[in-house]
């Protein structure tokens, strides 16, 4: 019987046997339906991706103000649009290594200051032009020149000069940076013909799908690009449907009108997972929900008070109640095990009423209420999280006063302005970028006003260090500094909670972003 | 000049003045909101340079009054301008959205207005008996439940469980009329439930009020059936208050359905306006505001004119 089954699975893999035929024959051989079904699925997967089909994604995070210009991407739908039609030089693989896309290879000089990207040849844009190193250069210039409004402007700062040289694109940095390839994987840096200087919102790049319909805030439809350079991307069409309402999104998924949905609310995720034909995909990522204190503003300029507040928060309880288990506890630093070169040995800070009370006493705070500003828009469940924090702080005798702010204008009026508020960080591909974005003295988004010269020095020395073990040591030291002296209270890292129809296959866990780092339209296929 | 023409032209002039006032008010309020379009677009990732560059490009550096009068200068020439955030032509975007909104409003109105009036007449015919009580109970229940809840319940049973209609009411140009009707069945149904009660109750109240009159008694005495009395003698005299409440509900169907739009993912004006306010896209907010104000003013004008035409005393003033 075994031989026969093996033969049958081989036929399935070769595409000679349909599911119905397979199940029928398996039943005749006395195999139970459940087992047969699993065997069929395994055999079908071994057959590799199947081409064709129309993929529909129900996505939160789209507005009628969205543009196809990659420089403007700031929410999920534009980001996914860019993933469907665009391509970057390199991509971060699920395991954290650099994967080549439009650049065939990347090479850094010994001092990590000069980086050369050898470009793939014969790659065609959707408008029929062939991609050259000039296009790459112009793209990077558009994101980094002084007129730039690009969301990637911050990470393009350390560039001294760039040049296009035949098949190569070369970047020279002012300071050494061993992580430059990671910066070039940023989703804003979609390569466009002539850098998109003329018409940045034309939606033309070298990606697997080309733009068919562009209705901002409603839907974006893409069709397979016939001359796409790679052999991934298996669908005929891909459609991003903007469904900002969480309940409408899950309803659309349940009734089969979309096959993928992002941002599943933790409170319904368990229920949704029980529905037939739907799998909830929970992926640990680098995003974290935080409370941030300005280290240079009273009363938070007192490290004893900061430490007291850090001890006064019950992390496990927050993960349980706010994230419903779809996340992991934080350790008051922005880094977790999803990052390369993470040091697992850094001691976890635990909730302790005694220690909180002790540090609070040492701080000599006058007992006046400490104002914590929150809005639901800071992160989902922020107001609840603040209330829980208030209660545990009260146990330690620390008076927290919660001030609710409107969602509207929160990121311009409260975050990075007020000394103590709730916030959210999406995480970055590497530790260097996370620290450089928000913990370097000179960073624009240093939202904890953490300005420590020795920390900055460590950051720069890590950049120039090409020995991984030594870098890991430096990052460990930096992590401890932020944890013990910084203004960050990081109770939890949230998972990406997506849901997919079981009609799709090929899902892999990718900590780099939601919906498999936006690679669903390239890596999935219909069973 | 005929008094009606005079009245209409007076109303039109007043309407234009009101529109101008509304636009000034909307502009002032949007300016008073914290932050501007540049900040809203760049969000958490804003750097001071990028902000400055974007403000320069959007022209936000110039004084507010200059920007308002530039906009006003454009609109009197029929130019709604460009969106600040995605550079698309506003007239084109609004045209599509307004078309969708009007389509949904029309379908909901075609179902709900005759139904509401018919139910109102029925309630009067059987006043204080079980049909009257049943109609009132049902319509008052549906109007009391928040519309998003009705929406979710309808989606859950009709779309997810039964699979009869799509929960996404997305319509686009490539769809046939029948497909569009099918797509908006659920939101139109929910809207009907929401607006039914007020119109039905007003019809009932207005006619009941007249049923005490002497001429109704005469009609009854000369042997007409109750329904004939209501339809022929009471209803024409009750038109004025009914039209007023119908117009109010029509205006609501056009400008107040953002919640239903969100729940059913319908690409109408409401969502467009909300997005524009969040992004501080002032020209779009102004354009939407003016369109909404025009709808309100226009429908109210229609209500007034119909009331006058329905009332001989107003139609032929001494």
**pLDDT at residue A14 in the model:** 59
Of B35, B40, B86, nearest to A66 by CB-CB distance is B86
Across residues A129-141, what is the average pLDDT? Answer: 95
Chain A nearest-CA distance from B149, in A, is: 11
**pLDDT at residue A27 in the model:** 67
Considering only residues B247 and A408, tell me which one the structure prediction assigns the higher pLDDT.
B247
**pLDDT at residue A5 in the model:** 67
Of B41, B166, B170, nearest to A72 by CB-CB distance is B41
Tokens representing B121 are 């007449």
**pLDDT at residue B88 in the model:** 81
The number of C-alpha atoms within 13 Å of A321 and in the hemisphere containing its C-beta is 15
Cβ–Cβ contact B226 with A under 8 A: no
- Contact partners, residue A241, CB within 8 Å, separation at least 6: A56, A57, A58, A59, A219, A252, A257, A258, B168, B170, B265
DSSP letters, B112-167, are HHHHHHHHHHHHHHTTTSHHHHHHHHHHHHHHHS-HHHHHHHHIIIIIIIS--S-S
Mean pLDDT of chain A: 89
Tokens representing A34 are 């459940």
**B167, pLDDT greater than 90:** no
R_g (Cα) of chain B, nearest Å: 24
Chain B nearest-CA distance from A308, in A, is: 28
The boundaries of the domain holding residue B163 are 90-299
Residue B14 lies in a domain: no
Residue B73 lies in a domain: no
**pLDDT at residue A340 in the model:** 86
Tell me the chain A residues in contact with residue B83 when contact means C-beta distances shorter than 8 Å. 65
**pLDDT at residue A15 in the model:** 58
A449-500 tens-digit pLDDT: 999 999 999 999 998 888 889 999 999 999 999 999 999 999 999 999 999 9
**pLDDT at residue B317 in the model:** 65
Of B34, B159, B170, nearest to A251 by CB-CB distance is B159
Tell me the chain B residues in contact with residue A377 when contact means C-beta distances shorter than 8 Å. none
Give the Cα separation of A308 and A310 in Å (integer): 5
**pLDDT at residue B304 in the model:** 85
Across residues A245-271, what is the average pLDDT? Answer: 91
What's the number of domains chain B is made of?
1
A40-76: b (≥16 Cβ within 10 Å) or e: beebbeeeebeeebebbbbbbbbbbbbbbbbbbbbbb
**pLDDT at residue B60 in the model:** 84
**pLDDT at residue A409 in the model:** 76
Tell me the chain B residues in contact with residue A219 when contact means C-beta distances shorter than 8 Å. 170, 172
Chain A nearest-CA distance from B197, in A, is: 26
Chain A contact probe: residue of B58, B167, B174, B258 with most A CBs at under 10 A:
B167
Of A65, A247, A254, nearest to B281 by CB-CB distance is A65
Contact B159 A255 (CB under 8 A): yes
Which CATH number fits the domain that encloses residue B232? Answer: 1.10.3720.10
Tell me the chain B residues in contact with residue A248 when contact means C-beta distances shorter than 8 Å. 155, 167-168, 262-265
Of A4-8, A46-50, A352-356, B296-300, which range is least confident? Answer: A4-8
Residue B62 lies in a domain: no
Q: Where are the beta strands (DSSP E) in A362-431?
A: 370-374, 400-404, 420-425
- Contact partners, residue A293, CB within 8 Å, separation at least 6: A300, A306, A309, A419, A420, A448, A487, A488, A489
Residue B67 lies in a domain: no
Can you name the residues that pair with A278 across neighbouring β-strands? A501
**A12, pLDDT greater than 90:** no
* Reported confidence tier of residue A23, pLDDT bands at 50, 70, 90: low
Of A217, A257, A411, nearest to B272 by CB-CB distance is A217
Tell me the chain B residues in contact with residue A437 when contact means C-beta distances shorter than 8 Å. none
Give the Cα separation of B5 and B77 in Å (integer): 26
Contact A154 B47 (CB under 8 A): yes
Contact A74 B262 (CB under 8 A): no
Residue B280 lies in a domain: yes
Give the Cα separation of A117 and A224 in Å (integer): 27
Pairing between β-strand A90-92 and β-strand A98-100 as defined by DSSP bridges:
antiparallel
A191-234 tens-digit pLDDT: 999 999 988 999 999 999 999 999 888 899 999 999 999 999 99
**Among candidates B84, B52, B58, B72, which has minimal Cα distance to B284?**
B84
Can you name the residues that pair with A495 across neighbouring β-strands? A284
Of A2-11, A105-114, A510-519, B90-99, which range is least confident? Answer: A2-11
- Contact partners, residue A368, CB within 8 Å, separation at least 6: A399
DSSP code, position A381: T
**pLDDT at residue A17 in the model:** 62
Tell me the chain A residues in contact with residue B41 when contact means C-beta distances shorter than 8 Å. 65, 72, 74, 149
Tell me the chain B residues in contact with residue A67 when contact means C-beta distances shorter than 8 Å. 85-87
Total length of chain A: 527
Of B43, B279, B281, nearest to A411 by CB-CB distance is B43
**pLDDT at residue A436 in the model:** 87
Residue B292 lies in a domain: yes
Across residues A440-446, what is the average pLDDT? Answer: 86
Across residues A339-363, what is the average pLDDT? Answer: 93
**Sign, Cα dihedral of A296, A300, A305, A308:** negative
Give the Cα separation of A281 and A272 in Å (integer): 11
B93-146 tens-digit pLDDT: 888 889 999 999 999 999 999 999 999 988 988 888 999 999 999 999 988 988
- Contact partners, residue B198, CB within 8 Å, separation at least 6: B143, B245, B248, B249
Interface of B with A in 94-153 (CB under 8 A): 96-97, 152
A61-99 tens-digit pLDDT: 888 888 999 988 888 999 999 999 999 999 999 988 899
Tell me the chain B residues in contact with residue A154 when contact means C-beta distances shorter than 8 Å. 45, 47
What ipTM was reported for this prediction? Answer: 0.80
Residue B80 lies in a domain: no
**A255, pLDDT greater than 80:** yes
Cβ–Cβ contact B88 with A under 8 A: yes
Residue B17 lies in a domain: no
**A9, pLDDT greater than 70:** no
Q: Where are the beta strands (DSSP E) in A252-341?
A: 260-261, 278-293, 327-329
Of B44, B53, B159, nearest to A415 by CB-CB distance is B44
* Reported confidence tier of residue A427, pLDDT bands at 50, 70, 90: confident
Residues A221 and B173 sit within 8 Å (Cβ to Cβ)? no
Considering only residues A444 and B169, tell me which one the structure prediction assigns the higher pLDDT.
B169
Peptide bond into A299 cis (omega under 30): yes
Across residues A419-436, what is the average pLDDT? Answer: 90
R_g (Cα) of chain A, nearest Å: 25
Across residues A417-433, what is the average pLDDT? Answer: 90
CA A398 and chain centroid, separation: 35
Mean pLDDT of chain B: 86
Which helix (H) or strand (E) segment holds residue B313: the answer is helix B312-315
**pLDDT at residue A20 in the model:** 63
Residues A393 and A312 sit within 8 Å (Cβ to Cβ)? yes
Across residues B263-290, what is the average pLDDT? Answer: 88
Contact B279 A65 (CB under 8 A): yes
**Among candidates A311, A89, A85, A42, which has minimal Cα distance to A205?**
A85
Cβ–Cβ contact B264 with A under 8 A: yes
**pLDDT at residue B31 in the model:** 85
**A394, pLDDT greater than 90:** yes
Across residues B226-252, what is the average pLDDT? Answer: 87
B30-48 tens-digit pLDDT: 888 877 888 877 766 677 7
């Amino acid at each position: 019987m075994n031989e026969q089954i093996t033969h049958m699975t081989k036929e399935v893999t070769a595409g000679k046997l349909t599911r119905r035929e397979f199940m029928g024959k398996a039943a005749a051989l006395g195999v139970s339906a459940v087992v047969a079904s699993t065997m069929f699925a395994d055999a079908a997967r071994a057959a590799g991706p199947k081409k064709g089909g129309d993929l529909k994604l129900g996505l939160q995070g789209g507005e009628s103000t969205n543009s196809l210009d990659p420089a403007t991407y700031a929410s999920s739908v534009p980001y996914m649009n860019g993933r469907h039609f665009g391509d970057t030089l390199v991509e971060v693989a699920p395991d954290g290594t650099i994967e080549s896309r439009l650049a065939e290879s990347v090479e850094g000089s010994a001092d990590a200051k000069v980086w050369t990207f050898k470009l793939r040849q014969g790659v065609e844009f959707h408008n029929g032009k062939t991609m050259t190193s000039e296009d790459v250069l112009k793209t990077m210039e558009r994101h980094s020149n002084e007129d730039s409004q690009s969301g990637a402007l911050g990470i393009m700062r350390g560039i001294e000069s760039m040049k296009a040289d035949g098949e190569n694109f070369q970047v020279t940095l002012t300071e050494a940076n061993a992580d430059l390839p990671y910066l070039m994987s940023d989703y804003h840096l979609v390569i466009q013909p002539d850098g998109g200087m003329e018409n940045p919102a034309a939606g033309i790049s070298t990606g697997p799908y080309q733009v068919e319909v562009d209705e901002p805030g409603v839907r974006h439809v893409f069709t397979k690009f016939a001359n796409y350079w790679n052999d991934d991307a298996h669908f005929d069409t891909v459609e991003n449907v903007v469904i900002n309402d969480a309940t409408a999104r899950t309803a659309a998924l349940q009734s089969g009108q979309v096959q993928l949905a992002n941002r599943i609310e933790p409170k319904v995720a368990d229920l949704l997972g029980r529905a037939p034909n739907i799998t909830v995909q929970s992926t640990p990522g680098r995003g974290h929900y935080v409370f941030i204190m300005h280290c240079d503003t009273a009363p938070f300029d007192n490290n004893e008070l900061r430490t007291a507040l850090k001890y006064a928060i019950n992390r496990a309880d927050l993960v349980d109640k706010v994230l419903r288990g779809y996340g992991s506890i934080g350790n008051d630093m922005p880094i977790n095990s999803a990052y390369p070169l993470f040091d697992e040995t850094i001691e976890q800070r635990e909730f302790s009423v005694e220690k909180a009370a002790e540090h609070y006493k040492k701080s000599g705070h006058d007992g006046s209420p400490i104002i914590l500003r929150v809005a639901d828009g800071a992160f989902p469940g922020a107001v609840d999280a603040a209330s829980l924090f208030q209660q545990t702080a009260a146990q330690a005798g620390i008076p927290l006063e919660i001030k609710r702010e409107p969602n509207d204008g929160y990121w311009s009026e409260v975050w990075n302005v007020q000394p103590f508020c709730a916030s959210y960080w999406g995480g970055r591909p590497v530790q260097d970028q996370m620290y450089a974005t928000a913990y370097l003295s000179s960073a624009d988004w240093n939202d904890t006003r953490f300005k420590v010269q020795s920390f900055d020095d460590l950051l720069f020395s890590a950049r120039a260090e090409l020995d991984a073990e030594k870098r890991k040591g430096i990052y460990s030291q930096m992590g401890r500094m932020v944890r013990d002296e910084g203004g960050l209270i990081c109770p939890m890292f949230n998972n990406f909670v997506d849901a997919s129809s079981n009609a799709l296959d090929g899902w892999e866990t990718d900590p780099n972003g939601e919906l498999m780092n936006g690679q669903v339209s390239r890596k999935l296929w219909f069973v | 000049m005929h008094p009606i023409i005079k009245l209409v032209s007076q109303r039109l002039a007043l309407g234009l003045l009101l529109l101008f006032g509304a636009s000034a008010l909307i502009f002032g309020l949007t300016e008073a909101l914290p932050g501007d379009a540049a900040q809203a677009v760049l969000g958490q990732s804003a750097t001071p340079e990028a902000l400055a560059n974007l403000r320069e490009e959007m022209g936000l550096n110039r004084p507010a009054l200059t920007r308002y009068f530039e906009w006003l200068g454009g609109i009197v020439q029929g130019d709604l301008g460009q969106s600040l955030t995605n550079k698309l032509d506003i007239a084109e975007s609004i045209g599509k959205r307004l078309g969708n909104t009007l389509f949904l409003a029309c379908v909901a109105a075609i179902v709900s207005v005759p139904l509401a009036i018919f139910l109102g007449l029925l309630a009067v015919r059987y006043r204080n008996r079980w049909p009257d009580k049943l109609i009132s109970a049902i319509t008052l229940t549906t109007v009391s439940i928040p519309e998003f809840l009705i929406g979710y319940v309808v989606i859950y049973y009709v779309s997810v469980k039964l699979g009869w209609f799509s929960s996404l009411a997305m319509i686009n140009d490539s769809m046939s009329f029948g497909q569009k009707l099918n797509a908006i069945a659920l939101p139109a149904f929910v809207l009907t439930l929401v607006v039914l009660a007020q119109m039905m109750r007003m019809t009932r109240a207005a006619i009941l009020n007249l049923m005490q009159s002497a001429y109704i008694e005469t009609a009854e005495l000369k042997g007409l059936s109750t329904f004939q009395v209501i339809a022929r003698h009471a209803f024409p005299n009750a038109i004025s208050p009914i039209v007023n409440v119908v117009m109010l509900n029509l205006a609501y169907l056009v400008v107040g359905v953002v919640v239903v739009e969100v729940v059913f993912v319908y690409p109408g004006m409401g969502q467009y306006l909300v997005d524009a306010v969040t992004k501080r896209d002032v020209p779009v907010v102004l354009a939407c505001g003016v369109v909404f104000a025009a709808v309100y003013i226009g429908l109210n004008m229609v209500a007034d004119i119909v009331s006058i035409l329905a009332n001989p005393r107003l139609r032929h003033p001494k």
